[in-house]
Chains A and B, each alone.
Chain A
């Protein structure tokens, strides 16, 4: 009996930090956000319960256009990261020797050693009109006059892909690593060509890794702030910027909270759709890799 109680106590103790973490840092703030988002401001220091902040979002095309824009660009970034990351992950997991493997992983990790801001400034130095690439093109005679690569959506996408690449590659490597090489050889042996083997064996096998990489990448991208702000042009709006503006510039915490909740719902729906379409579950993707 005592033994049983003791065991239960141990279990509670082990579980407590995790529970605290979840409750204090995730659940409570979100409940607070939801509550905040349902307050309507009627006069200074006077608030009422209501859905005005959400209605505001629906009635203002600028807001939902920005959200859709953020979503579609995040999807594009995710797709690009997958297309670029998959061959790299495949190379690391299946072809590279142990030593090059470590070096390659390190290369993918390096971008994360410096802060978002420094990384963005790096891209600014490269891409600006008087930057390295433009100057090189002029110097080599390829371009007649300096070209501005910065301040457009392409620059934002490049910067984001660079940032999230590691989060795509790591889960891919870990699933591909678990794949028996003979599986690929069997694919060829039974008559498949390179494309068939990729499509029917490697990709389906790596699906949990692909999906979990995509989820992480998509979430990170949709929630990123500095990169789109610094690299984006005068028309590049990002939804997190709207949230920031509501909270900081307009002192409108209620609308900011509503936007935050909406972004969370939106990304959740996109991920749910992605899981449905790929026939995966959250349990066997993110949990596995």
Chain B
């Protein structure tokens, strides 16, 4: 028995030692695929030679799950979307408050900064600042589906077997707007929201027969779209921009009820060990010359002032082909998800997936 405890002790010591030695020199980023382009990391490490950048690519759900599993340890900077911070912080306490004095907030677009602060303030402490924003909407091949303009058009029988969507909350919200509801307003009344969910689920189950397949990642969506297997789909705008590069007939289409806008943020995990490095990274990527490199990689628009002009030329063309000023005014920003809503939505999504709609 004594032997076992000794070995366990040794093991623990090694693990602690390993953690200790990682301190201060390493910035462990937990972010989205393409949000840490190699060129930027090299440039950053050149400027701060004593900082190594380690990147883990993830998505909103996995970011939260990872941080929840460790109580906010293992990473020094995370980039969840603005609507996914409040509930996660409230329930699992995985982030630490930001020191805004260390962030060059002057460079940020005031409207976006205020929006994010408003969404992520708990007990007077701010937990996130904006990084980039983008939208979810539709994508269509203009030559084959010129009239695909609203969420509901994905279910139009004339495109039977030729449309796709990701079976996640975006399509639920989009379809709710399509059906004349305001889902974000209903967040305050969960009973009412359940009613909306039921209605939307029914519609989406009906729609199943029209769908070729649910896409899982930007890669399968791109493949289906470029091969012509589908003519229209629910999409992230950045994916659509990349496809536009290869086939200008395929453009992002802001749905008639408004594209759904998200802002990806910076948040510091509660047990992060390299806060200074994290702040340095935040300020570094918000510099105009770096914004262009970042946007070229992500296809999203930075939350700094004059960001649209900082887009690389091809992205600028794609954005101009997709959005009019009216579309921008019509954007629907994702609202904070109150606790419990994820579970309700998850249940609805399971029901849709399990239904045999065809």
Distance in Å: Cβ of B8 to nearest Cβ of chain A: 7
A237 and B339 alpha carbons, distance in the complex (Å): 26
Cβ–Cβ contact A237 & B216, under 8 A: no
The reply on B357 being an interface residue by CB < 8 A is yes
Cβ–Cβ contact B346 & A249, under 8 A: yes
Cβ–Cβ contact B354 & A250, under 8 A: no
Cβ–Cβ contact A129 & B227, under 8 A: yes
The reply on A154 being an interface residue by CB < 8 A is no
Cβ–Cβ contact A20 & B339, under 8 A: no
Write out the residue numbers on chain A whose beta carbons fall within 8 Å of the beta carbon of B64.
251
Write out the residue numbers on chain A whose beta carbons fall within 8 Å of the beta carbon of B91.
44-45, 251
Write out the residue numbers on chain B whose beta carbons fall within 8 Å of the beta carbon of A130.
227-229
A233 and B358 alpha carbons, distance in the complex (Å): 10
Cβ–Cβ contact A252 & B7, under 8 A: no
A151 and B224 alpha carbons, distance in the complex (Å): 12
Write out the residue numbers on chain B whose beta carbons fall within 8 Å of the beta carbon of A229.
216
Q: Which of B211, B229, B342 contacts A129 (CB 8 A)?
A: B229
Q: Mark A224-253, 1 if CB is under 8 A from B, else 0.
A: 000001100111010000100111111111
Cβ–Cβ contact B211 & A66, under 8 A: no
- Which stretch in A11-19, A71-79, A88-96 binds the other chain? A11-19
The reply on A124 being an interface residue by CB < 8 A is yes
Size bracket of the A interface: 20 to 34
Cβ–Cβ contact B62 & A248, under 8 A: yes
Cβ–Cβ contact B211 & A234, under 8 A: yes
Size bracket of the B interface: 35 or more
A192 and B323 alpha carbons, distance in the complex (Å): 78
Cβ–Cβ contact A250 & B343, under 8 A: yes
Q: Mark B345-356, 1 if CB is under 8 A from A, else 0.
A: 111011101111
Cβ–Cβ contact B213 & A250, under 8 A: no
The reply on B220 being an interface residue by CB < 8 A is yes
A44 and B90 alpha carbons, distance in the complex (Å): 8
**Nearest chain-A residue to B164 (Cβ)?**
A234
Write out the residue numbers on chain A whose beta carbons fall within 8 Å of the beta carbon of B223.
124, 128
Cβ–Cβ contact B212 & A151, under 8 A: yes
The reply on B3 being an interface residue by CB < 8 A is yes
The reply on A62 being an interface residue by CB < 8 A is yes
Task: From known contacts A130-B229, A248-B62, A252-B343, infer whether A234 and B7 are also in contact, taking CB-CB under 8 Å.
Answer: no
Q: Which of A16, A237, A252 contacts B3 (CB 8 A)?
A: A16
Write out the residue numbers on chain A whose beta carbons fall within 8 Å of the beta carbon of B111.
none
Distance in Å: Cβ of B7 to nearest Cβ of chain A: 6
The reply on A157 being an interface residue by CB < 8 A is no
Q: Which A residues, 231 to 289, have Cβ-Cβ distances below 8 Å to chain B?
A: 233-235, 237, 242, 245-253
Task: From known contacts A234-B208, A235-B356, infer whether A44 and B339 are also in contact, taking CB-CB under 8 Å.
Answer: yes
A65 and B216 alpha carbons, distance in the complex (Å): 23
Distance in Å: Cβ of B2 to nearest Cβ of chain A: 9
The reply on A150 being an interface residue by CB < 8 A is yes
Distance in Å: Cβ of A231 to nearest Cβ of chain B: 10
Write out the residue numbers on chain B whose beta carbons fall within 8 Å of the beta carbon of A9.
3
Task: From known contacts A19-B4, A235-B356, infer whether A124 and B220 are also in contact, taking CB-CB under 8 Å.
Answer: yes
A245 and B354 alpha carbons, distance in the complex (Å): 13
Q: Mark A198-237, 1 if CB is under 8 A from B, else 0.
A: 0000000000000000000000000000000110011101
Task: From known contacts A16-B7, A44-B90, A252-B343, infer whether A62 and B351 are also in contact, taking CB-CB under 8 Å.
Answer: yes
The reply on B19 being an interface residue by CB < 8 A is no
Task: From known contacts A20-B7, A248-B65, infer whether A62 and B354 are also in contact, taking CB-CB under 8 Å.
Answer: yes
**Nearest chain-B residue to A248 (Cβ)?**
B61
A176 and B61 alpha carbons, distance in the complex (Å): 48
A242 and B350 alpha carbons, distance in the complex (Å): 8
**Nearest chain-A residue to B62 (Cβ)?**
A248
Q: Which of A65, A233, A248 contacts B354 (CB 8 A)?
A: A65
**Nearest chain-B residue to A253 (Cβ)?**
B68
A-B contact pairs, 10 of them (CB 8 A): A65-B354, A128-B223, A128-B229, A129-B229, A130-B229, A235-B353, A235-B356, A247-B65, A248-B65, A251-B65
Additional A-B contacts beyond A65-B354, A66-B354 (15; CB < 8 A): A16-B4, A62-B351, A62-B354, A128-B224, A128-B227, A130-B227, A130-B228, A148-B229, A230-B220, A235-B355, A237-B353, A248-B62, A251-B64, A251-B68, A251-B342
Closest 3 CB pairs of A and B: A250-B346, A130-B227, A151-B213
A interface list, Cβ under 8 A from B: 9, 12-13, 16, 19-20, 44-45, 62, 65-66, 124, 128-130, 148, 150-151, 229-230, 233-235, 237, 242, 245-253
B interface list, Cβ under 8 A from A: 3-4, 7-8, 61-62, 64-65, 68, 88, 90-91, 93, 167-168, 208, 211-214, 216, 220, 223-224, 227-229, 339, 342-343, 345-347, 349-351, 353-357
